[in-house]
Amino acid sequence: MNSANSYQSSFFLVLLLCSMMAFSQTKSHPLESIGQMQKTERRNLVVFLHTDWCNYCKGMENSTFKNKNVQDLLTNNFYFAELNGEEKQDINFSGAIFKYQPTGVKTGFHELAASLGNIDGQVSYPSLVILSPENEIIFQLNGFMSAKEIIEVLTKINKG
C-alpha cells in the first residue's frame, strides 16, 4: 500500500470513529436488570417512554439524548432505561410482571408504560419519568424536553 492510500485509509478510519462518537446514544439498561444494579449502587432511574410512531420521541432520541452533557449526567449519576409504550414482551420490574394489553386490532399498550407515564389519567409520548432507588415516582413530564430542559431537571434532582 502506498503512502497516499495509507493516508486515505487512516483519514477514513478517524472520520468514521468521530462520526460514531458524535452520534452515540445514551446507554439504556434493561428494566429487568435495574433491581440488581440498585443492589450494587443506588441511583435514581430515568425512564424514557416512547413509541415507534411518535415523531417527538424520535426528536428526543436524535437531539436531547445525543447531547454530551445529557449523556454525561445520565451515565455518571443515574440509571437510564427506555420503554416502548407498545412493547409486547412481559417485563419483570420491582417484583411485578407487567404485560402488553391489546385494545384492538394491532393496538394496545404496555402496563408498565401506563403505570409510569400516567398523569391525570392520560399517558402521552414522549414521557420522562424519574424513579427513586425504591421505585417511587419523583418526577413525571409528558412531552418533548430539550437538552437544556432535561439538564436542569437532572441537575436539580441529582443535588437532592
Structural domains for the chain: 25-159 (3.40.30.10)
The region, left, alpha or beta by phi > 0 then psi within -120 to 50, assigned to residue 24 is beta
- Whole-prediction pTM: 0.83
CA-based radius of gyration for the chain? 19
Q: What angle do CA 95, 83, 47 make, to 5 degrees?
A: 80
E strand intervals along the chain: 44-50, 78-84, 91-93, 96-98, 100-104, 107-110, 127-131, 137-142
pLDDT at 2: 54
Neighbours of 43 (CB within 10 A): 18
pLDDT at 53: 96
Q: pLDDT tens for the chain, 160 residues: list them.
A: 555 555 454 444 443 344 344 345 678 999 999 999 999 999 999 999 999 999 999 999 999 999 999 999 999 999 999 999 999 999 999 999 999 999 988 899 999 999 999 998 889 999 999 999 999 999 999 999 999 999 999 999 998 7
pLDDT at 160: 74
pLDDT at 14: 40
